[in-house]
Structure formats: C-alpha cells, structure tokens
Amino acid sequence: MAEKRYFVMRTKSGSETGVFSGRQPRQAALKAANRGEADIRLRERGTKKVHIYRGSRNQVSSPANAPDWMPAKVWKPSVKKVGIEYLKKL
C-alpha cells in the first residue's frame, strides 16, 4: 500500500500557502481544485519537484444513491496536468 504524501501549494511568486495530502499529486490537486483554485502548483515535500495543474470545478446533480443529508447539487473538481518544474538549489 502506498504511503500518504504531502504537497505544498505554491503561488507564482514562490510563497507557500497550504498543504494537501494524497497518494498521488493528482489527488492533492483535485482537493485544491475543489476549493476553487484554478492555477495549481504543488511542491512535493522533501523534493524540488513542483507539479503544475489547471483546475476547475463544476456544479453537478448529486448521485442517485446519495444520502439524505447531501444537497441536490455538489461540486465536482477536474484537473489537467500541465507539467513538472524543478526548483533550483540555493
């Protein structure tokens, strides 16, 4: 079973704002997209890799087998990988 990995959200200027977890970078990017982020740059902790995604979310009807407490409309995130960037050593 794969381990949980942590990805730090970065801005274009290089400041880091939040942490998302997941087994794969795409899973963390989906979590960021579900919060409304469009330009997603995730640095994997312990590495110099920055995974870059385009994200969006659409409001869709909830599934037929949804529990009673779930609203009629829910947000569904989608992401597309743009590439990987490597940070330079200081």
- Whether pTM > 0.85 for this model: the answer is yes
pLDDT digits (tens, 9 = 90+) for 28-54: 999 999 999 999 999 999 999 999 999
| DSSP secondary structure letters along the chain | -PPPEEEEEE-TTS-EEEEEEESSHHHHHHHHHHTT-SEEEEEETTSSEEEEEEEEEEEEEPPTT--TTS-SEEEEEEEEEEEEEEPPP-
Domain that holds residue 71: 5-86
Q: What mean pLDDT comes out for the span 9-36?
A: 92
Q: What is the pLDDT of residues 45-90, one digit of tens each?
A: 999 999 999 999 999 999 999 999 999 999 999 999 999 999 886 5
- Total domains, the chain: 1
User: For residue 6, which of 38, 28, 36 has the smallest C-alpha distance?
Assistant: 28
